[in-house]
Amino acid sequence: MTTIPREPGRFMVVEGNNLPSPGKCWCCGAMDRDCIHWGYDEDFVGVVMLCENCVLEAASHFRVDEQAAKIEALENHIKALVQTLEETRVCLVANVDGLVAAVGNSAKFSDLVVGQGAIAGGARKG
């Protein structure tokens, strides 16, 4: 029996063309699909495993589709937040560049900040 390495854990995927005895899904009897097994081997029966179709059907009873929709919505929200953050960063860079240009090309923004008595982190020189 050869297992397909996926994520480490209790469940292992076995290729459909290399199923251990009895060589079929415990639920539907399919012999040509990849199966999941979890190390349970019954004496005189063989390895207990479920094919990918039976696992997906069973998972549907746990509202996996609803959870997937929530995850997708969160991913979209994160993408929007990242986009907003990037737009804000671009605006801040433009403002700093404008400030430096207004003061003169000889001045640096860091010189302006230190010249006002501030140092990194907002603390004052003492």
Domain-terminating residue out of 61, 80, 99: 61
Full domain range(s) for residue 8? 3-61
Task: Decide if 35 contacts 25 (C-beta within 8 A).
Answer: yes
Please report whether residue 57 resides in a domain: yes
Domain-terminating residue out of 39, 61, 83: 61
pLDDT tens digits, residue range 23-81?
788 888 888 888 888 877 888 878 888 888 888 888 888 877 788 888 899 999 999 99
90 and 52 co-located in one domain? no
72 and 22 co-located in one domain? no
37 and 74 co-located in one domain? no
Please report whether residue 113 resides in a domain: yes
Close Cβ partners of 3 (under 8 Å, ≥ 6 residues apart): 12, 13, 14
Q: Strand pairing partners for 50? A: 36
Please report whether residue 125 resides in a domain: no
pTM of the model: 0.44
47 and 92 co-located in one domain? no
Q: Strand pairing partners for 73? A: none
